[in-house]
Amino acid sequence: MESKYTKKFSALLLGLLFSLPVFALDGDAERGQANSAICMACHQADGNGMNIPGGESWPRLAGMNADYIYKQLKEFKNGTRVNASMMPFATMLDDQQKKDLAVYYSQLPAGEGAHGGADAELLAYGEKLATAGDWDRYIVPCSTCHGPGNQGAGEHFPGIAGQHAGYIESQLVAWQKGERDNDPQHLMLAIAERMNDYDIKAVAAWLSTQPAQ
């Protein structure tokens, strides 16, 4: 049964989405490819990033929404989103180059989700939390914001299906600690602060196994 909290959150989200402007990003994929060499060391030549279990994780850009990539590049440059590794590269790019890179990566095929390596019980719990939420703790399903199949919804809500588990986990922790704060209406903080370490690990693991496109 849909709770009063579900209805309230859904109404707030719909109001936010309908109030956000929609733009067609004016970027050129060929120019973006020409400038993508500076991105390859972390995000790999195919744009699918890399995950080292128990270590660092670099996100997949391939197949991501172009508007979302562009927004993040702008915010790395202006300091709205803080990352010591990304800021120098974002600062090197002018606005058109950011648009070109965003369009280029959005057109690359996303790799398959992770297979194996995660505990079945952890994955089952992650699926339940990601798809049904936990309304007793006011944790909403991921797709409420990130769209059907968690494939993303415009510039504010990225596709998280098939993203690397380590990266999803690191970002949820960053939202939780207030180290990341570039979302509309602090929606991610409101969710992440209600999640414990096991919640975060489970959701990240399950989402990483889902098809990215």
Residue 51: in which H helix or E strand, if any? strand 50-51
Point out the least confidently predicted range of 1-10, 147-156, 194-203.
1-10
- For 105-163, the pLDDT digits (tens) are 999 999 988 877 779 999 999 999 999 999 999 999 999 999 999 999 999 999 999 99
- Alpha-carbon distance values, 115 to 101, 164, 210 (Å): 29, 11, 9
Residue ranges and CATH numbers for the domains of the chain are 4-20+113-208 (1.10.760.10), 29-106 (1.10.760.10)
Choice between 54 and 37, residue whose per-residue pLDDT is larger? 37
pLDDT at 64: 97
User: What mean pLDDT is predicted for residues 23-36?
Assistant: 92
Region for residue 139 given its phi and psi (left: phi exceeds 0; alpha: psi -120 to 50; beta: otherwise): beta
pLDDT above 70 as % of the chain: 89
Positive or negative, the CA dihedral 77, 153, 179, 121 is negative
pLDDT at 113: 82
Confidence grade of residue 1 (pLDDT, cut at 50, 70, 90): very low
Find how far residue 100's CA is from the centre of its chain: 20
- Answer whether residue 3 shows pLDDT above 80: no
